[in-house]
Amino acid sequence: MMPNAGGSPFPLTRWTAVLSLRQQHDVVKAQAIINDLCKNYWYPIYSFARRFGHSPEDAQDLTQGFFCNVLDQNLFASACPDQGKMRTFLITAFRRFASDVHDRSSALKRGGGVEALSLEMLAGEDMYAWEPTDESTPETLYERTWAISVLNTALKRLGEMEAAAGKGDEFAAAEPFLSPMHSAEGSYEELAAKMSISETAARKMVSRLRKKFRDCLRDAIADTLTSPAESDIDEELQALKAALRN
């Protein structure tokens, strides 16, 4: 990771931003932090609720109510810096929240009047319909959807970096080769023809982007850890791969 403007050896990661809610008195900034968290991780929570047996409507309300509750009740005030993994804290906190909510009205009430977050909740059921109809547990599905969310975050960052460098077209053409979820969909011959380059050049382009994607993926994983040491990132990367295999 590159140092930030303030000279700190690490930029403000999402987990450290979330932990800062304990001392955050700026409501607007706090809302922005929660919104950022929600955009990336609402679906793993939603899928967990669905696999746990909640109806689509109740799963939507529980997910919405949970993230509103995060802000309204300063839920992360109990989060300790040594807890390490955001995904573990989030699912534990959601379990506690859901156990205290007995109907949709109380779920919404627990939002404390906070304006509804900008979640594409209606798309959640369409996404859930594509999940395997096997006997995987809510926890297993949560881990898998979390892993996919991290991959998507890394891809988005890489796309933004490439666009800023004037190489957005290269990224768009090579994207099917990058994520482990789609790596089998690419054809170097088709890519070369699309970009009007040789197949050798197409392979080099994909190799360059895959290296950058690995870096972005490690950064995305680091953003979910309080102490992003290389060994911790390696451990989470293995957990991510295991979740995708499951």
Confidence (pLDDT) at 79: 58
| Dihedral angle over CA of 97, 92, 242, 149, nearest 10 | 50
For residue 2, pLDDT beyond 70: no
* Global confidence as pTM: 0.75
Confidence (pLDDT) at 81: 52
Written as six digits, the tokens of 143 are: 């881990």
In the chain, the N- to C-terminal Cα span, in Å, equals 30
**Per-domain boundaries in the chain:** 10-131, 134-246
Q: Which helix (H) or strand (E) holds 203?
A: helix 199-222
Task: Report the distance separating Cα 57 and Cα 77, nearest Å.
Answer: 29
In three-state secondary structure terms, 200 is helix
Do 62 and 108 contact (CB within 8 A), yes or no? no
DSSP secondary structure letters along 1-34:
----TT--SS---HHHHHHGGGS---HHHHHHHH
For residue 138, pLDDT beyond 80: yes
What average pLDDT does range 18-43 have in this prediction?
Answer: 75
151-177: pLDDT as tens digits: 988 999 999 999 999 999 999 999 989
- Per residue in 191-207, is it b (16+ CB within 10 Å) or e — as a string? bbeeeebeeeebeebbe
Report which of residues 135 and 176 the model is more confident about.
176
